[in-house]
Amino acid sequence: MGQIAISLDRIGKQYKIGAAGLGYKALRDVLAGWRPHRIRRRSKQPAGSNRFWALKDVSFAVQHGEVLGVIGRNGAGKSTLLKILSRITEPTTGRAEIHGRVGSLLEVGSGFHPELSGRDNIYLNGAILGMRRAEIEHKFDAIVEFAEVGSFIDTPVKRYSSGMHMRLAFAVAAHLDPEILFIDEVLAVGDAAFQKKCLGKMGEVAKQGRTVLFVSHNLTAVATLCHKVVWLHQGQVVKHGRADEVIAKYLQPENSASGFDPSQYPDNADFRLLHANIEQGDNQIGPFLTSAPVDVRLRYAVKRMVKGLRVGIDVMTIDGVTLWRSFDDDLDPLPNTFRMPGTYEAVCRLPENLFLPRQYLISLSIGIHMVGWITFGVLQQPVDFYNVNGVNANYADENHNRSGLLMLGLDWKTVSVDQAEYSVQL
């Protein structure tokens, strides 16, 4: 283990709801809130009812060079945590220690002056973010090129579009060189192409061995950039661990059963789902071995004669990236045929040695060809795969962290086309 860069010990932050009396007031605030004494009323709220904990008993440590993601729903306390670590606000309880020079990307564009040009705002914003003038001058061309605003660099930013404004702000912040970097949802700026560029830049920062704390709702970006993840809920740590494991747990439906729940399926005049499950032999609960096939078994009723019924599945990563879709008529020489009323059972077999040992999602995609969906994205089931010593166990263990989404053990054949004699001197 490396040296600890960030250490949090039972951090808590309490706020007072409607705390208008806290902090300083301008004269206009005093006048606006003034009223004759005779019409003032005391609050009938019981003491303590207008306080809440944005964070409570949050403890974890981050090693130097580690990229830690922070996820959770809105209001979970993610931004409050970064504000405490950035010394914008003080914790109510607990203690935090930071070892290293810190840079924060909490509110991209804060400090930009609308009347100043893009050039002047680069110097102004860079100074706010802790960059020296010589450092800004050295990186000026790279910042302008990254932001793609070269033709407008001497134009006041009040004439920039919102996208140009955000691109320039992120470009300044992204060229910081701190030892520890706090990032709060900044990859949401700009169009798809610029978001991809931002993600690449953050990847470079991570590869340079800097410590990064990354808050985002973009779980694909979190899974790509982060080694570990902290999941916050209502101000408390639910889970802290390896990125794929925490994200899988975060996305898993509460009280999920071992199979699909047909009661979630919408009623339809043509089709009724009776039963759907994922199984591997007698195992209908999971997790499943990577070294054996897995069956998706569906039982359904066709209520009346229907043409073009297609029953299928989508196999996805846990953050919703579709790996492939398969329908029951993909290999049918006579697709779009009539299905007579009755009860049917369909089994789709997922082959062995296909999945890496992690969690995936299987979703039912059922519809009538060229008419519409009966159910799409409604029924989803998390599926865990693991590996034990057995078929391809070494392959799976060795490639657990390999780039990619599937474990495809492709058949390679190597032959000699021109053998030459040689000797080896030992």
pLDDT digits 0-9 by tens, 393-411: 444 444 445 566 676 666 6
The identity of residue 267, as a single letter, is: D
Whether 49 has a pLDDT exceeding 80, the answer reads no
Distance set, CA 218 to CA 189, 273, 320 (Å)? 12, 33, 11
Higher pLDDT, 353 or 95: 95
For residue 395, give the nearest of 384, 385, 383, 408 by alpha carbon: 408
* In the chain, ranges of CATH 2.70.50.60 domains: 262-398
Question: Which residues partner with 180 through β-bridges?
Answer: 102, 211
The reported pLDDT for the residue numbered 6 is: 93
Helix (H) or strand (E) holding 205: helix 192-207
Helix (H) or strand (E) holding 142: helix 133-147
Whether 146 has a pLDDT exceeding 70, the answer reads yes
pLDDT band at 238 (very low <50, low <70, confident <90, very high): very high
Across the chain, what does the average pLDDT equal? 78
Higher pLDDT, 183 or 32: 183
Q: Which tokens sit at 162?
A: 């919102």
How far, in Å, CA of 175 to CA of 141, rounded?
A: 11
Q: Which of 167-176, 186-195, 225-234, 282-291 has the largest mean confidence?
A: 225-234
How far, in Å, CA of 188 to CA of 195, rounded?
A: 7
pLDDT band at 196 (very low <50, low <70, confident <90, very high): confident
Decide which of 2.30.40.10, 2.70.50.60, 3.30.1330.60, 3.40.640.10 is the CATH code for 262-398. Answer: 2.70.50.60
- For 252, which DSSP code? S
- Which residues contact residue 364 at a Cβ distance below 8 angstroms, ignoring those fewer than 6 apart? 260, 273, 276, 298, 311, 312, 313, 314, 375, 378, 379, 380
Contact 162, 190 (CB under 8 A): no
pLDDT band at 390 (very low <50, low <70, confident <90, very high): very low
The reported pLDDT for the residue numbered 411 is: 66
The reported pLDDT for the residue numbered 392 is: 42
* In the chain, ranges of CATH 3.40.50.300 domains: 4-26+50-251
Residue 415 CA to chain centroid, in angstroms? 44
Distance set, CA 311 to CA 224, 338, 347 (Å)? 33, 13, 10
CATH classification code of 4-26+50-251: 3.40.50.300
Range 282-291 average pLDDT: 77
